[in-house]
């Protein structure tokens, strides 16, 4: 059962990064949006990459450290999502992505709390 949960969160973080990339393609290419979208793309991908690293951790301390990075990167992703101006469209998609970021942040927070005992 544990491996199913691992797979689900790996898949979920992968899907988040892919959805962010699809969203970025639809965002108006203003000067500030271009910079914010670049940073959003990096941070969203980092969430999943660091989660994979956490699953390969050599110690409990290393695992917790990687999960903390995941939480930091998802918070950063949420920040840049909020900054991006979607123009007349894509507000619903933006809101869905922000909600997913909030959910992932809560999951990573729970993992940290439960692993620190």
Q: Architecture of 2-115 per CATH? A: Up-down Bundle (1.20)
The ranges assigned to domains in the chain are 2-115
**What is the overall mean pLDDT for the chain?**
93
97: tokens are: 């992505």
Dihedral class, residue 90 (left if φ above 0, else alpha if ψ from -120 to 50, else beta): left
Q: What does the pLDDT look like over 59-81, one tens digit per residue?
A: 999 999 999 999 999 999 999 99
CA atoms within 13 A of residue 113's CA, in its CB half-sphere: 6
pTM of structure: 0.90
Calculate the dihedral angle through the C-alpha atoms of 97, 98, 99, 102, rounding to the nearest 10 degrees: 120
| CA–CA gap between residue 82 and residue 87 (Å, rounded) | 13
């Amino acid at each position: 059962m544990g491996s199913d949960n691992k797979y689900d969160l790996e898949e979920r973080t992968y899907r988040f990064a892919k959805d962010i990339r699809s969203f970025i393609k639809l965002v108006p290419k203003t000067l500030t949006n271009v910079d914010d979208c670049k940073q959003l793309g990096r941070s969203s991908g980092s969430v999943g990459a660091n989660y994979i690293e956490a699953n390969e951790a050599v110690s409990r301390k290393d695992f917790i450290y990687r999960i903390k990075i995941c939480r930091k990167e998802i918070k950063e992703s949420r920040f840049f999502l909020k900054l991006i101006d979607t123009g007349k469209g894509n507000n619903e998609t933006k809101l869905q992505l922000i909600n997913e970021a909030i959910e992932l942040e809560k999951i990573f927070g729970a993992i940290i709390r439960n692993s620190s005992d």
